[in-house]
Amino acid sequence: MNAPLKHTSDITDAEESLAQQEAQSVLDSKSATEVAMQNTLLTPRFYTTDFDEMDAIDVTPVREDWDKLIAQMVSDPNKGHFKKNEDWDHVDWENMEPGLKKEFIDFLISSCTAEFSGCVLYKEMKRRGNNKDITQLFQLMARDEARHAGFINDALREAGVAVNLGFLTQKKKYTYFRPKFIYYATYLSEKIGYARYITIFRHLQEHPEHRFHPIFKWFEEWCNDEFSHGEAFALLMKTDPKLTSGFNVYWIKFFLTAVYSTMYVRDHQRPAFHAALGVDPDWYAHEVFTKTSKLSEQIFPITLDIDHPRWQSGLERMQKANADLAKATEEGRFLAKIGAQVRAVSAFVSLITIPARKHKVPASTRLEPAY
């Protein structure tokens, strides 16, 4: 017999949250799940890695900071937060401008998939590991991501769609990344996630007339979770100085360029969404990159020169090439597709060859959210 269902915001165990999502999934829609199932360069992916190697990490060199961070996460300041309450204003989905509705639903599905992708990876690490420090951290992060994904799905259900997360776990393709690539990619996605959520939250504090959906009210506490997750990955990388020196600095540059340019291209696919928020996507991108770069100085020895004359033009070329690629793919024009791919690669090369800014990494890694 099934136990009565708790709301995902109250659940502290990702496994339980998953079971709950599974039980709900009979109600969830096929089309949203299909969108979440897509694997393109721009859609959120699911990852798997060498869990044994990750399990072997020894956090002794960062023990003091580690224990503080874990204690803060164990205290669970956001338990019960990710639930609709009286601040959740009525959403008039029926009368939402169709262009905006489409882009916003797309935004929610992609965010839900990204949150859930974190949950699946972290939960798996927790399940496979034996190292108490590591499994505890990953259990706590999986708990948070399960809540985030569950909350977005609550919002989607009001629009008559939702992602079937149980189905996704079983059927979505998993991409293998070596642990060090998981650290770079996940660290960055947590920190850029923080920067994205806090930038929107602060903007809407100043311009509440643009808050066209209540979910944005939840972004402040939300981004603090992502901030802590990023801190944890910074500490993990700190345990092994090789990860952030020597040839690995090129990998760091690659991931910075890939993560920033993907965000730029993806956001520029949603003009109506950004117009409704009153946000210029170019301003927003620059703002988010500036914050993320400042934060990532805590552990990465380089930052990208986002004020270099080639930076903005490279992003624009990349965005145009991707738009043309999507169009050519849709119309089945093979040669146009190849042409667009070549242009996208050349734009990426132009971006990644911009000389990076170097700095001395501080002795102490830990930061607190300050934006």
- If the CB atoms of residues 124 and 324 are measured against Fe ion, the closer one turns out to be 124
Asked if 267 touches Fe ion (CB under 5 A), the answer is: no
Site for Fe ion in 31-50 (CB under 5 A): none
Asked if 103 touches Fe ion (CB under 5 A), the answer is: no
- If the CB atoms of residues 221 and 316 are measured against Fe ion, the closer one turns out to be 221
Q: Give the relative orientation of helices 179-206 and 281-296 as an angle to the nearest 10 degrees.
A: 130
User: How buried is residue 26: exposed, middle or buried, by Cβ count under 10 Å (0-12/13-18/19+)?
Assistant: exposed
Question: From the CB of 119, what's the least distance to Fe ion, in Å?
Answer: 8
- If the CB atoms of residues 66 and 122 are measured against Fe ion, the closer one turns out to be 122
Question: From the CB of 175, what's the least distance to Fe ion, in Å?
Answer: 18
- If the CB atoms of residues 28 and 226 are measured against Fe ion, the closer one turns out to be 226
- If the CB atoms of residues 133 and 226 are measured against Fe ion, the closer one turns out to be 226
Beta strands in 118-222 (DSSP E): 174-176
- If the CB atoms of residues 145 and 231 are measured against Fe ion, the closer one turns out to be 145
Q: Which of these ranges, 89-97, 107-115, 212-220, 357-365, lies near Fe ion under the rule CB under 5 A?
A: 107-115
- If the CB atoms of residues 115 and 324 are measured against Fe ion, the closer one turns out to be 115
- If the CB atoms of residues 259 and 325 are measured against Fe ion, the closer one turns out to be 259
Question: From the CB of 49, what's the least distance to Fe ion, in Å?
Answer: 16
- The residue within the footprint of Fe ion, chosen from 28, 65, 103, 115 (CB under 5 A), is 115
Q: Which of these ranges, 74-82, 186-194, 299-307, 315-323, lies near Fe ion under the rule CB under 5 A?
A: 186-194
Asked if 266 touches Fe ion (CB under 5 A), the answer is: no
DSSP letter at 298 equals T
What the block records as the tokens of 263 is: 């965000």
Site string for Fe ion, 206-235 (x = CB under 5 A): --------------------x--x------
Question: From the CB of 186, what's the least distance to Fe ion, in Å?
Answer: 8
Question: From the CB of 263, what's the least distance to Fe ion, in Å?
Answer: 15
Site for Fe ion in 190-209 (CB under 5 A): 190
Question: From the CB of 42, what's the least distance to Fe ion, in Å?
Answer: 19
CA 287 to chain CA mean position, Å? 17
What the block records as the tokens of 208 is: 């509440």
On whether the CB atoms of residues 138 and 51 are closer than 8 A, the answer is no
- Residue 23 one-letter amino acid: A
- If the CB atoms of residues 115 and 267 are measured against Fe ion, the closer one turns out to be 115
Phi, psi of 169 (to 5 degrees): -55, -40
Beta strands in 90-244 (DSSP E): 174-176
**Which residues, 6 or more positions from 210, have their beta carbon under 8 angstroms from its beta carbon?**
203, 204, 276, 277, 278, 279
Phi, psi of 358 (to 5 degrees): -105, 150
**Look-up: residue for tokens 């808050």?**
211
Phi, psi of 96 (to 5 degrees): -70, 140
Q: Name beta bridge partners: 174.
A: 46
Calculate ∠ Cα 222-266-46, nearest 5°. 65
Q: Which of these ranges, 19-27, 56-64, 140-148, 331-339, lies near Fe ion under the rule CB under 5 A?
A: 140-148
What the block records as the tokens of 66 is: 């580690």
Q: Which of these ranges, 102-110, 176-184, 189-197, 320-328, lies near Fe ion under the rule CB under 5 A?
A: 189-197
Question: From the CB of 114, what's the least distance to Fe ion, in Å?
Answer: 8
Q: How many CA atoms lie within 13 A of 99 on its CB side?
A: 8
CA 348 to chain CA mean position, Å? 21
How far apart CA 164 and CA 171 sit, in angstroms, is 11
How far apart CA 23 and CA 199 sit, in angstroms, is 35
Question: From the CB of 228, what's the least distance to Fe ion, in Å?
Answer: 8
- If the CB atoms of residues 115 and 124 are measured against Fe ion, the closer one turns out to be 115
* Residues contacting Fe ion: total by CB under 5 A: 6
Asked if 148 touches Fe ion (CB under 5 A), the answer is: yes
Binding site for Fe ion (CB under 5 A): 115, 145, 148, 190, 226, 229
